[in-house]
């Protein structure tokens, strides 16, 4: 077995092999080993991801991918318990590594290598009657709800996207993945094949081109029936403390229920206990978790 760095965007045949391995691993584990950005990074050189492959006579046994802050890792199901993951982790050194699903095998490996869990990301879901109960948006006199296309028609794309970025970066100044976005990053996000302008919802200050908050929803069609996701939701700093968080969340839930969603998921940091408590009170339950394991 040979461990070597390879530029996957420049090697489409190996990028295809990586996707096949990830599909096989997800089928075995019941959870995707790579998140959306790392999947995109297999082919998109603009993301600047570093890829390390474990190869045996040309066959891909496993791979790791890293961005500026963390790494993700996957091993082919029939190549496990052969030291592939250990070899890839050794090549990564002290870099933080995600374990999606935080499965027992991943926890055991990380513990055995002296790593410590430093971040937990929860997946919560609401469905059926509980979803229908909370998917009710009541209009307010102080704000107006418009989707992205409607907002662009009224205010112009530049003004809308700058206001969107400002609200996002204020809401997520602390967040390693969602904070610090610019127009180029936003443009890349809108290139996703699932992106639809009707699924990005804004609350605007009544009568003014001032964004109070946004609720970016995501429509998942990879399963049947399709389901929705609270993809990103945030309030601009000037509009916090005005009771807009609940209606902003319900705005997106109502939109997804209106599209026929019988289930909606969201991701939330486990340490954000107030948010977890709010979601529980709305009927969301924890269905999955992801973890970052760091070198002690």
Binding residue positions for acetyl-CoA: 73-75, 81-86, 233-235, 240-246, 272-277
Q: Pick the closest to residue 266 from 93, 114, 123, 157 (CA basis).
A: 123
Decide if 125 contacts 284 (C-beta within 8 A). yes
Q: What is the DSSP string of 25-79?
A: HHHHHSS-SS-HHHHHTTT-GGG--EEEEEEETTEEEEEEEE-SS-EEEEE-GGG
In angstroms, the Cα distances linking 134 to 151, 255, 260, 291 are 25, 12, 14, 29
The whole-angstrom separation of Cα 151 and Cα 88 is 46
Binding residues: 36, 73-75, 81-86, 177, 218, 229, 233-235, 240-246, 267, 272-277
Residue 119 sits at φ, ψ, to 5 deg, of -155, 135
- The structure tokens listed for 121 are 């990301």
- The structure tokens listed for 265 are 């998921």
Check residue 109 and report its DSSP letter.
Answer: H
């Amino acid at each position: 077995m040979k461990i070597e760095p390879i530029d996957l965007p420049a090697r489409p045949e190996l990028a295809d092999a990586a996707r096949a391995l990830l599909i096989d691993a997800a089928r075995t584990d019941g959870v995707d080993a790579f998140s959306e950005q790392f999947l995109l990074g297999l082919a998109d050189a603009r993301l600047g991801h570093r890829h390390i492959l474990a190869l045996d006579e040309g066959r891909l046994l496993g791979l790791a991918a890293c961005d500026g802050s963390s790494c993700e890792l996957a091993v082919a199901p029939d190549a496990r318990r052969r030291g592939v993951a250990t070899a890839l982790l050794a090549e990564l050194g002290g870099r933080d590594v995600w374990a999606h699903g935080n499965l027992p095998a991943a926890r055991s490996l990380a513990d055995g290598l002296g790593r410590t869990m430093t971040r937990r990301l929860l997946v919560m879901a609401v469905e059926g009657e509980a979803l229908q109960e909370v998917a009710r948006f009541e209009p307010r006199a102080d704000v107006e709800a418009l989707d992205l296309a409607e907002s662009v028609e009224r205010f112009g794309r530049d003004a809308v996207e700058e206001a969107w970025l400002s609200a996002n970066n204020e809401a997520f100044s602390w967040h390693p993945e969602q904070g610090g976005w610019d127009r180029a990053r936003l443009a890349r996000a809108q290139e996703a094949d699932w992106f639809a302008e009707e699924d990005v919802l804004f609350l605007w200050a009544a009568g003014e081109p001032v964004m109070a908050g946004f609720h970016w929803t995501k429509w998942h069609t990879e399963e049947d029936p399709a389901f929705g996701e609270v993809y990103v939701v945030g309030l601009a700093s000037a509009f916090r403390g005005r009771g807009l968080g609940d209606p902003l969340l319900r705005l997106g839930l109502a939109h997804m229920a209106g599209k026929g969603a019988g289930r909606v998921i969201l991701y939330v940091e486990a340490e954000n206990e107030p948010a977890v408590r709010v979601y529980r009170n709305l009927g969301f339950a924890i269905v999955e978790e992801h973890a970052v394991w760091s070198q002690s």
